[in-house]
Structure 1
Amino acid sequence: MPTIDMKATGLNLKAIIKAKGYKIVDVQTRCGFSTPQAIFKWFRGDSMPTIDNMVILADMLGCTIDQILIITKTPA
């Protein structure tokens, strides 16, 4: 059964943001957050962006949501 690896996804998101030359404040502004705490939680794998924020991130980063998510498959 496929599941989202939250920690790996957070690290992947952080790497994509860095590779594209964005700063945390850029993501914070684009997602409409007053503080960056939610973004740091994403990076640690403590939480995931909402689907709305995933769409914003994919658009901002010029990638698909599938390229942000790290999916692991476990035996059923």
Structure 2
Amino acid sequence: MNYKTVDLKKTGTQIETICRENGYNAIEIASSLNVSHQSVYKWFSGKSLPTLDNVLFLSQLLKVRVEDFIVYEEVTYPSFHIKEFVDYVYA
């Protein structure tokens, strides 16, 4: 089965791009959100993501939709039937 998941690296790059396009650097974003600039650099690099509250604040500050920050990737997971899964776990 295919599922959507957040691509951390691309989402971080997207957040950085949107911030810079709107004239903000990491230090200014950190100051506006009352977080450390190290946290913002981690967002930009995809090592972590901002909290939902911070994403909402960023969207309002930068006048973009929350969805504009997020980049998805499709991940394929094997399809298990419950019996097969139980048999596998308890084998």
TM (normalized to structure 1)?
A: 0.90
Q: Which runs of 5+ in 2 are unaligned?
A: 78-91
Please identify the structure whose Cα radius of gyration is greater: 2
Aligned residues: 75
Cα-to-partner distance string for 1:50-74 (whole Å, 9 max, x where unaligned): 0000001111111111100001123
Poorly superposed stretches of 4+, deviation over 6 Å = none
Deviations 1:15-70 (A, max 9, x none): 1111111122221112112x300000001111000000000111111111110000
Identity %: 27
Gap runs ≥5 in structure 1: none
Per-residue deviation, 1:75? 3.6
Whole-Å separation in 2 of the counterparts to 1:14 and 1:72: 18
Q: Choose between structure 1 and 2 for higher RCO, CA contacts under 8 A separated by at least 6 residues.
A: 1
What amino acid does structure 2 have at the position aligned with 1:26? E
SS at match of 1:21: coil
